[in-house]
Structure 1
Amino acid sequence: MIELVPIGTVNPAAVEDLLDRAFGPDRHARTAYKVRGAAVAVPDLSFAAIDGEVLVGSIQCWPISFLDDAGRRTDLVMVGPVAVDPARQGDGIGRALVSRALAAAGDEQPLMLIGDPEYYGRFFGFDAALTGSWRLPGPVERHRLLARGAGVPAGAGQLGPALTTPVPAA
């Protein structure tokens, strides 16, 4: 039976190994890593999926900031990566992890991610309606830049590492 636990209770090396298996060792060059910079994952929103004593999935959420072209800052949370052991993909582990993180974040927390719009839109209410003018520190497929939650900024601006750590909504 799979148990979802705070990611801080899991060996960080095991999480890194899982991420390498799920996304490849070149994952650090991706735009998402540049957006979040050297931030530390938000502990209350990051979870691990354990089957027995084996790590089979993880989700990490990161504090980031959006600086609009008028100089106004909005703190957001970047959801992901969602990693599932390749041998366990299709078992609903990723969906359970995302559901848990979103429940912990609450409906008021502005969230964003880079992911499949059909999946994240259908199951979790993310869309690209407000992200079309966002700039990132690397390439992104515009239709995969998704957001949800109260206070998601609209208009032109730059996503990047957080200037402060957002407090999850209750």
Structure 2
Amino acid sequence: MIEIVPIADVNEDAVEQLLDRAFGTDRHGRTAYRIRDGVPALPALSFAAIEHGALIGTIQCWPIAFTSAEGAVVPLVMVGPVAVEPVRQRDGIGRMLMHHALDTAEAHGDSERLMLIGDPEYYGRFFGFSAERTGGWRVPGPVERERLLARGANVPIGAGSLGPLLVDA
């Protein structure tokens, strides 16, 4: 039986090793990493899938910001990566983690301001994400425009850029 637990309950090295197996050791240079650079994942929205004591999947969510062309800052939540042990991909573990994270975001009042970079057919069909609002968004690196997805009434439309949500101490 698969158990979903807070990612904070799992060894950080084990999470990093799973991410390396799922996405490769060169993953740190990707645009998604640049968007959330320097901020920790949101503990309340980041989870691990455990089966028989073994880590088989993770999902992390990050505080990011959309800064409009006029300088207005809109807080968003970046969903992902969703990582699943390669031999267990296509077993529904990623979908289970996404549902859990989205349900938790709903409970925390964050479900109307979500974005991710991913397959538009998959994330649109199963989770309601689309590129309708993201056409004017700039990101710190290359991205296939159709893979820049968002969902929720509080997602901004128009020109602006994405980056980490920096909070003054």
Normalising by structure 2, we get a TM-score of 0.95
Measured in 2, the distance between the counterparts of 1:71 and 1:83 equals: 34
Map of 1:7-156 to 2, 5 A cutoff? Answer: 7-106=7-106, 108-156=111-159
Contact 1:67 1:157 in 2 (8 A): yes
The one-letter code sitting in structure 1 at the alignment partner of 2:16 is E
Contact 2:102 2:111 in 1 (8 A): no
Measured in 2, the distance between the counterparts of 1:36 and 1:109 equals: 19
The one-letter code sitting in structure 1 at the alignment partner of 2:139 is L
User: After TM superposition, which residue ranges in structure 1, 4 or more long, deviate above 6 angstroms?
Assistant: none
Aligned residues: 165
Measured in 1, the distance between the counterparts of 2:24 and 2:111 equals: 33
The one-letter code sitting in structure 1 at the alignment partner of 2:113 is P
Once the 2 structures are TM-superposed, how far is the Cα of residue 75 of structure 1 from its aligned partner? 0.2
Residue number among 148, 152, 162 corresponding to 2:165 in the alignment: 162
Unaligned runs of 5+ in 1: 166-170
Once the 2 structures are TM-superposed, how far is the Cα of residue 38 of structure 1 from its aligned partner? 1.1
Measured in 2, the distance between the counterparts of 1:86 and 1:135 equals: 31
Once the 2 structures are TM-superposed, how far is the Cα of residue 150 of structure 1 from its aligned partner? 2.2
Contact 2:39 2:166 in 1 (8 A): no
| Secondary structure at the counterpart of residue 126 of structure 1 | coil
Unaligned runs of 5+ in 2: none
Measured in 2, the distance between the counterparts of 1:141 and 1:76 equals: 20
Measured in 2, the distance between the counterparts of 1:108 and 1:81 equals: 17
Once the 2 structures are TM-superposed, how far is the Cα of residue 100 of structure 1 from its aligned partner? 0.4
Q: Identity of counterpart residues, as a percentage?
A: 66
| Secondary structure at the counterpart of residue 25 of structure 1 | coil
Contact 2:58 2:83 in 1 (8 A): yes
Measured in 2, the distance between the counterparts of 1:137 and 1:108 equals: 24
Q: Which residue of 1 aligns with 2:5?
A: 5
